């Protein structure tokens, strides 16, 4: 059980922190939390925090002079003026309870991010059920190439900007807007990008109508002078804007839109296409990443960048520079002559998009997919979609479910999924067993993709004797 978001809003938080000189981060090792800690330290405040385990992210914070503790201790909160927490902690977290007891400002991550971001004039929030991290990284590539020196907060490690976040001096803030538990409703975008909308996070939203309503509320946060950049080919994304009265700009491939892709060609993991603006050529783009889903991301970036006054040649060059974020079809090495790729996909739509892209890359090789389901609730709610999308591979190995915050009360699991896929699928009982099976089955005629959002990445240490590159 996690704790809830606060929803104070930027103006209230500004008053709460008017005399604040120090901030403690509970769960500082998270991607977003670590970036917020750095931004807070740059404001001249004393910053420290804790997490259950240390990681490369916490090492990076320590190198920046931020004190990081392994494990939680209530006594640490006695020397801080305010605390920021991740909703992933439990209600009985002793540091969280101590902050409450002391009655110091206690603010959730999303709410604090909404406050911090108001310091940038141009705030681009990238939302959608899939592709947020890739698209945010793609934005970073274009805006950096154009010399805008943006601040970027992403959910994926993008090496050209030095990690999961980048702190710039320009007026642009590009951030990944996570919808889970309505976190993005605490933000204040001036531009809201909506890549796609569909059923996901069923443990929180319950149904698609609730999801549409949340995205509609997110769009409305842009205010009367803001704008929404929306995928015209995604019906639920468009339906989410049924009550939106502000400026709407569309992008797409199939339907009529303000920005479209034409003359698309694919060649072994790359693509070329024309970006058309209102029927006129804006630029020709050659990208190094595979798949139609990346073209949609590129259109969203191009539309926003064009409206922000970035030159067409910089848009094309920035998109051409983009080689992908980590764990987004990231090449990891060769195993028995077979190339092995790593991907974060954990929803049927993401899996299908990745496997279609893999087909473009692998030629006549046998496509092998290792997939780890993420949470029992997602697997149960989207079961048929997982069966359909994973069936695109020639061979499927379903690793044990990564339960995260759940227990199996729904009568589902990896064995049930493998059985539904059929003879091409199996369900090894551990990551070690999955790795062993891969080592036995892969050869030079195979192309492997290992997918999931849990601890599936640990398999690369088993396969190659190394951690993430």
Reported as a single tens digit per residue, the pLDDT across 356-372 is 888 888 888 999 999 99
**Residue 149, Cβ neighbours under 10 Å: how many?**
14
Q: Could you tell me if residue 24 is inside a domain?
A: yes
Question: Looking at 31-40, 147-156, 193-202, 459-468, which range is the least confident one?
Answer: 459-468
Residue 121 has pLDDT above 90, yes or no: yes
Contact (Cβ atoms closer than 8 angstroms) between residue 344 and residue 130 = no
Q: pTM for the complete prediction? A: 0.77
**Predicted pLDDT at 391:** 95
User: Which CATH number covers residue 127?
Assistant: 3.40.1190.10
In angstroms, what CA-CA distances link 427 with 139, 411, 413, 417, 420?
38, 16, 9, 8, 11
Question: Looking at 143-152, 402-411, 434-443, which range is the least confident one?
Answer: 402-411
- Whether residue 105 sits in one domain with residue 153: no
Q: Could you tell me if residue 459 is inside a domain?
A: yes
SS3 call for 197: coil
pLDDT tens profile 13-41: 999 999 999 999 999 998 889 989 999 99
Among 115, 132, 166, identify where a domain stops.
Answer: 115
Residue 378 has pLDDT above 90, yes or no: no
Average pLDDT, the chain: 91
Contact (Cβ atoms closer than 8 angstroms) between residue 457 and residue 371 = no
User: Total structural domains in the chain?
Assistant: 3
* Rounded CA separation 109/115 (Å): 10
Q: Which two tokens stand for residue 327?
A: 């764990």
* Rounded CA separation 453/373 (Å): 8
* Rounded CA separation 451/343 (Å): 5
- Whether residue 314 sits in one domain with residue 372: no
Contact (Cβ atoms closer than 8 angstroms) between residue 85 and residue 137 = no
Among 268, 301, 321, identify where a domain stops.
Answer: 321
Q: Give me the DSSP letters along 83-147.
A: EEE-TTS-TT-HHHHHHHHHT--EEEHHHHHHHHGGGSSEEEEEE-SS-HHHHHHHHHHHHHHTT
**Positive or negative: CA dihedral 94, 99, 103, 108:** negative
Residue 115 has pLDDT above 70, yes or no: yes
**Can you give the residue range of the structural domain that contains 407?**
330-464
**Predicted pLDDT at 200:** 80
- With cut-offs at 50, 70 and 90, classify the pLDDT of residue 181: confident
- Whether residue 211 sits in one domain with residue 92: no
**Predicted pLDDT at 466:** 57
As a whole-number percent, the residues of the chain with pLDDT over 70 amount to: 99
User: Which CATH number covers residue 102?
Assistant: 3.40.50.720
User: Which CATH number covers residue 398?
Assistant: 3.90.190.20
Residue 118 has pLDDT above 60, yes or no: yes
- Whether residue 338 sits in one domain with residue 285: no
**Predicted pLDDT at 467:** 41
**Predicted pLDDT at 469:** 38
In sequence order, the β-bridge partners of residue 273 are: 285
pLDDT tens profile 67-78: 999 999 999 999
- Whether residue 158 sits in one domain with residue 266: yes
Tell me which of 446 and 349 has the higher pLDDT: 446
């Amino acid at each position: 059980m996690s704790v809830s978001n606060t929803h104070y809003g930027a103006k209230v938080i500004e008053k709460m922190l008017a005399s604040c000189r120090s901030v403690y981060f509970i769960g500082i090792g998270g991607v977003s939390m670590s970036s917020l800690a750095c931004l807070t330290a740059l404001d001249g405040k004393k910053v420290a925090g804790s997490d259950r385990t240390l990681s490369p992210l916490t090492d990076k914070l320590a190198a920046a002079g931020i004190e990081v503790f392994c494990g939680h201790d209530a006594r640490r909160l006695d020397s801080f003026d305010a605390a920021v927490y991740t909703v992933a902690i439990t209600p009985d977290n002793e540091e969280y309870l101590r902050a409450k007891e002391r009655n110091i400002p206690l603010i959730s991550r999303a709410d604090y991010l909404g406050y911090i971001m108001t310091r940038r004039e141009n705030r681009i929030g990238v939302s959608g059920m899939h592709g947020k991290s890739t698209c945010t990284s793609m934005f970073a590539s274009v805006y950096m190439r154009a010399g805008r020196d943006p601040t970027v907060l992403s959910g994926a490690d993008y090496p050209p900007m030095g990690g999961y976040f980048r702190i710039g001096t320009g007026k642009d803030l590009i951030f990944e807007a996570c919808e889970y538990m309505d976190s993005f409703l605490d933000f204040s975008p001036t531009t809201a990008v909506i890549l796609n909308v569909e059923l996901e996070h069923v443990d929180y939203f319950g149904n698609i109508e609730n999801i549409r309503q949340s995205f509609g509320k997110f769009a409305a946060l842009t205010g009367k002078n803001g704008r929404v950049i929306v995928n015209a080919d995604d019906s639920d994304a468009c339906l989410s804007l049924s009550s939106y009265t502000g400026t709407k700009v569309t992008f797409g491939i199939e339907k009529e839109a303000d920005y479209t892709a034409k003359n698309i060609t694919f060649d072994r993991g790359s693509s070329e296409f024309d970006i058309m603006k209102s029927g006129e050529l804006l630029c020709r783009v050659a990208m190094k990443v595979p798949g139609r889903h990346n073209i949609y991301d590129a259109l969203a970036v191009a539309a926003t960048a064009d409206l922000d006054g970035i030159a067409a040649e910089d848009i094309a060059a920035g998109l051409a520079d983009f080689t992908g974020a980590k764990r987004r079809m990231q090449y990891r090495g060769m195993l028995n002559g077979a190339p092995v790729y790593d991907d974060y996909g954990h929803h049927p739509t993401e899996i299908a998009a990745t496997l279609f892209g893999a087909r473009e890359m692998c030629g006549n090789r046998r496509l092998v997919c290792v997939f780890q389901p993420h949470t029992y609730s997602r697997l149960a709610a989207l079961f048929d979609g997982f069966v359909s999308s994973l069936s695109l591979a020639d061979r499927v190995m379903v690793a044990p479910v990564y339960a995260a915050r759940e227990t199996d009360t729904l009568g589902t699991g990896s064995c049930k999924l493998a059985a539904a896929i059929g003879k091409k699928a199996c369900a090894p009982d551990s990551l070690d067993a999955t790795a062993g099976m891969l080592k036995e089955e892969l050869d030079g005629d195979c192309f492997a993709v290992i997918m999931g959002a849990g601890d599936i990445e640990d398999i690369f240490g088993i396969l190659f004797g190394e951690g993430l590159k």
